[in-house]
C-alpha cells in the first residue's frame, strides 16, 4: 500500500526520509561513477535506505539504474565516494534477463550458484521459492533455455529469493510476466518485510507497494528523492521544470530590457556610458541567476514502419504447438493473414507463444507458409537476433537497402540512440536501448510481415503510446504477443489466436 503524497520533497543533502525502520542498511556518500571519460553515470550521489523500506528507482533508459544496482552489490566500484552496507545485511538481485552463458544450466545448477546452504537442502529450497513465484516444480535436470520468457522471469526472481536477502533489488521484474504472475508478485512484495528497491516502468505495479522514489537524472547524473507514488513524482518533476522555465522566461525578458537600455545609453556618450556599463553588468548578473533547467526525458517522435507488401496472402498459419502439463500437442489453425491484418496471440506464460513466433520467423513450413518474397521483421523478446559484439551502426546498415551511414545516424537519433552510442558495442547498451535499437531495425527494414514478441519489455513508459500508434497504423501483416493490456488496447487487432482455448 503506497503512502499518501505529502508534497514535493528533495532535501539538500539528498537524504531520503520516508523509511519504515530506524537502522540504515545502505548509504551512498558522494559517490561518482562513469564508464570511461565520456560516459558519466553518477555525480557525487548521496542517499540512504533504512531497513524495511520499499522504494522505486526511476530514470530514463540509459540513466544508469542497473549500474546503481551493480554498485550496491559490489560488482563494480565507484571512482570516488563511499558506499556503506550494514555488516549484517545481505544483498540479492533479481536481474532483467538470464545471461546467455547460463541458458544451458540445469535448474539445479542454476540455483546452486545462489544457494549457500547444505547441498541436500537445495531441492526443497528450490520448491519453496518457486511456490512463492507461482511456478510449478520442474525436473531438476531441465535446462533453463527450455523455459518460456515468462517462466525465466520467475526463475530470476526465485534465484534472488533463495538467498533470503536483507536488501532485495529487482530490475524490471514484471517483464514477460502474465497478469497472474504480476498479481502474485505484487502481493508477495506487499507482504515482504525487508528492504526492497525496484526498477520498473509499470506504474500500477509500483504504486501497490512502494513508499517513495529515487529519481536518477540522465542529464545531471544526480539522484533525487521524492515522497509519493510514481504518478506523483512524474507530476512534481513536470511542475518543477515548468516553474524553472517560467522563471527563466521572466529573467530573459528583464535581461533583454537591460541590454536594450545599455545600448541606448552607450550611444548617448559621456557619463551615460557608465550607466550603460552598469546595465550590462546587471544583465550579466541576471544571466547567472537563470536556473539550469533539467531536460525532460526524451520521448520517441512519431514514426511509421513502412510496408510494400502486395494485397494477397502474406502468411498462411497452418498449425501451432501448444505446451500442456501432458506435453506438447499440435493443433490446426488454418489462418491466413493478408496485408493490413493484425493478429494477437494470447495465452499464459509457458504455453508456447514465443516458441510459436520463433517457428514462424525461422520459416518452419510445418507451422506456416510465408509467401515467397515477403520480408519478415522479427522483434525477439530476448534481443538474441542482435549480435552483441557488433555496433548499432552495423546492425542498422545490415537491414538497410542503401548502406548509407548518414541515414543510419539519422535513424539511430530518431530512436534516441546518439551518435556516440552508434559506435559502441551493443552489449554496452541498456536493455531499454536494445529495445529501441530493435525498433529502429524494423523501421529501417520495412518488413511485409511483422512478428513482435513482448515489444514493451524494458521500454520507458513514455515511449509506449508512440510505439502503439506506429503498430496500429502498420499496413502489413502483424503478429503480436504482449501481456500489457493498456498497450494492446491502443492497437487495432483484427484476429485473436488464444492458445489456451486450443487445449
User: How many CB atoms are located within 10 Å of the residue 77 CB?
Assistant: 9
- Looking at residue 243, its pLDDT comes to 73
Yes or no: say if 350 and 150 are a contact pair by the CB < 8 Å rule: yes
Query: What is the pairing mode between strands 24-34 and 195-199?
Result: unpaired
Sign for the CA dihedral angle at 129, 127, 73, 388 comes to negative
Using DSSP's 3-state secondary structure scheme, residue 482 falls into coil
Give residues with Cβ within 8 angstroms of 112, minimum separation 6.
119, 122
- Looking at residue 300, its pLDDT comes to 86
Architecture of domain 24-235: 3-Layer(aba) Sandwich (3.40)
Instruction: Tell whether the model's pLDDT for residue 492 goes beyond 60.
Output: yes
Nearest Cα to Cα of residue 438 among 390, 407, 395: 395
State the chain's mean pLDDT as an integer.
84
Pairwise CA distance, residues 34 & 140, whole Å = 40
- Eight-state DSSP code of residue 56: E
6-57 tens-digit pLDDT: 233 333 333 334 333 458 889 999 998 987 666 788 888 898 888 888 998 8
Pairwise CA distance, residues 275 & 256, whole Å = 16
Least confident window among 295-304, 360-369, 489-498: 295-304
- Eight-state DSSP code of residue 213: E
User: How many CB atoms are located within 10 Å of the residue 324 CB?
Assistant: 13
Q: Is the pTM of this model over 0.95?
A: no
Indicate the domain borders of the chain: 24-235, 241-288, 313-502
C-alpha cell at 271: 557619463
- Looking at residue 18, its pLDDT comes to 38
- Looking at residue 16, its pLDDT comes to 39
Q: What are phi and psi of 56, to 5 degrees?
A: -90, 135
Instruction: Tell whether the model's pLDDT for residue 410 goes beyond 90.
Output: yes
Least confident window among 227-231, 346-350, 443-447, 474-478: 227-231
Q: What are the CA-CA distances from residue 132 to residues 180, 315, 421, 499 (Å)?
A: 13, 41, 39, 26
- Looking at residue 460, its pLDDT comes to 79
The separation between the first and the last C-alpha atoms of the chain, rounded to the nearest angstrom, is 38
Neighbouring-strand partners of residue 93: 169
Q: What are the CA-CA distances from residue 108 to residues 141, 161, 279, 372, 420 (Å)?
A: 7, 15, 76, 44, 42
Pairwise CA distance, residues 124 & 107, whole Å = 13
Q: Average of pLDDT values for 365-394?
A: 92
- Looking at residue 42, its pLDDT comes to 87
Q: What are phi and psi of 156, to 5 degrees?
A: -60, -45
Yes or no: say if 482 and 329 are a contact pair by the CB < 8 Å rule: no
CATH of 313-502, one of 3.40.50.300, 1.10.645.10, 2.60.120.260, 3.40.50.360: 3.40.50.300
Of the ranges 37-46, 56-65, 229-238, 308-317, the best mean pLDDT one: 308-317
Evaluate whether 24-235 and 313-502 have a shared fold.
Answer: yes
Concatenate the DSSP letters of all residues of 16-42 into one string.
Answer: ----SSSSEEEEEEEEEEESSTT-EEE
C-alpha cell at 187: 502481493
Pairwise CA distance, residues 187 & 379, whole Å = 31
Residue 1's pLDDT band (cuts 50, 70, 90):
very low
Is residue 402 exposed (0-12), middle (13-18) or buried (19+ Cβ within 10 Å)?
A: exposed
162-182 tens-digit pLDDT: 998 999 999 888 877 777 888
Instruction: Tell whether the model's pLDDT for residue 325 goes beyond 80.
Output: no
Amino acid at each position: 500500500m503506497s503512502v499518501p503524497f505529502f508534497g514535493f520533497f528533495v532535501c539538500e543533502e539528498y537524504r531520503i526520509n520516508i523509511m519504515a525502520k530506524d537502522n540504515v542498511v545502505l548509504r551512498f556518500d558522494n559517490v561518482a561513477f562513469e564508464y570511461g571519460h565520456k560516459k558519466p553515470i553518477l555525480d557525487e550521489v548521496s542517499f540512504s535506505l533504512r531497513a524495511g523500506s520499499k522504494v522505486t528507482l526511476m530514470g530514463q533508459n540509459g540513466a544508469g539504474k542497473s549500474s546503481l544496482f551493480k554498485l550496491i552489490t559490489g560488482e563494480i566500484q565507484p571512482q570516488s565516494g563511499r558506499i556503506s552496507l550494514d555488516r549484517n545485511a545481505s544483498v540479492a538481485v533479481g536481474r532483467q534477463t538470464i545471461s546467455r552463458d547460463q541458458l544451458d544450466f540445469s535448474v539445479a545448477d542454476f540455483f546452486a550458484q545462489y544457494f549457500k546452504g547444505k547441498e541436500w537442502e537445495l531441492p526443497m529450497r528450490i520448491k519453496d521459492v518457486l511456490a512463492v513465484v507461482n511456478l510449478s516444480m520442474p525436473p531438476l535436470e531441465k535446462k533453463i533455455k527450455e523455459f518460456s520468457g515468462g517462466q525465466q522471469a520467475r526463475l530470476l526472481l526465485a534465484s534472488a529469493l533463495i538467498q533470503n536477502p536483507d536488501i532485495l533489488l529487482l530490475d524490471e521484474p514484471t517483464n514477460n510476466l502474465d497478469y497472474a504472475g504480476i498479481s502474485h508478485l505484487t502481493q508477495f512484495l506487499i507482504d515482504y518485510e525487508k528492504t526492497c528497491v525496484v526498477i520498473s516502468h509499470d506504474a500500477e505495479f509500483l504504486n501497490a507497494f512502494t513508499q517513495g522514489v529515487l529519481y536518477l537524472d540522465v542529464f545531471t547524473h544526480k539522484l533525487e528523492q521524492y515522497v509519493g507514488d510514481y504518478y506523483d513524482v512524474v507530476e512534481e518533476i513536470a511542475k518543477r521544470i515548468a516553474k524553472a522555465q517560467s522563471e527563466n522566461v521572466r529573467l530573459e525578458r528583464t535581461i533583454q530590457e537591460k541590454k536594450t537600455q545599455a545600448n541606448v545609453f552607450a550611444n548617448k556618450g559621456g557619463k551615460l556610458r557608465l550607466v550603460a556599463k552598469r546595465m550590462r553588468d546587471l544583465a550579466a548578473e541576471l544571466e547567472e541567476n537563470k536556473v539550469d533547467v533539467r531536460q525532460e526525458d526524451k520521448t520517441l517522435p512519431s514514426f511509421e514502419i513502412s510496408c510494400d507488401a502486395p494485397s494477397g496472402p502474406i502468411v498462411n498459419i497452418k498449425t501451432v504447438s501448444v505446451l500442456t502439463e501432458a506435453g506438447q500437442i499440435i493443433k490446426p489453425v488454418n489462418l491466413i493473414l493478408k496485408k493490413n491484418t493484425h493478429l494477437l496471440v494470447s495465452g499464459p506464460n509457458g504455453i508456447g507463444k514465443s516458441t510459436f513466433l520463433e517457428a514462424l520467423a525461422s520459416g518452419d513450413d510445418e507451422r506456416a507458409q510465408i509467401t515467397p518474397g515477403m520480408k519478415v521483421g522479427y522483434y525477439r523478446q530476448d534481443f538474441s537476433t542482435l549480435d552483441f559484439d557488433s555496433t548499432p551502426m552495423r546492425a542498422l546498415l545490415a537491414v538497410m537497402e542503401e548502406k548509407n551511414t548518414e541515414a543510419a545516424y539519422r535513424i539511430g537519433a530518431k530512436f534516441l540512440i546518439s551518435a556516440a552510442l552508434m559506435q559502441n558495442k551493443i552489449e554496452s547498451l541498456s536493455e531499454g536501448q536494445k529495445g529501441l535499437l530493435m525498433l529502429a531495425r524494423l523501421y529501417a527494414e520495412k518488413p511485409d510481415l511483422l512478428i513482435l514478441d513482448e515489444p514493451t519489455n524494458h521500454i520507458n513508459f513514455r515511449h509506449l503510446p508512440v510505439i502503439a500508434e506506429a503498430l496500429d497504423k502498420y499496413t502489413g501483416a502483424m503478429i503480436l504477443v504482449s501481456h500489457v493490456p493498456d498497450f494492446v488496447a491502443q492497437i487495432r487487432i483484427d484476429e485473436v489466436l488464444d492458445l489456451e482455448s486450443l487445449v
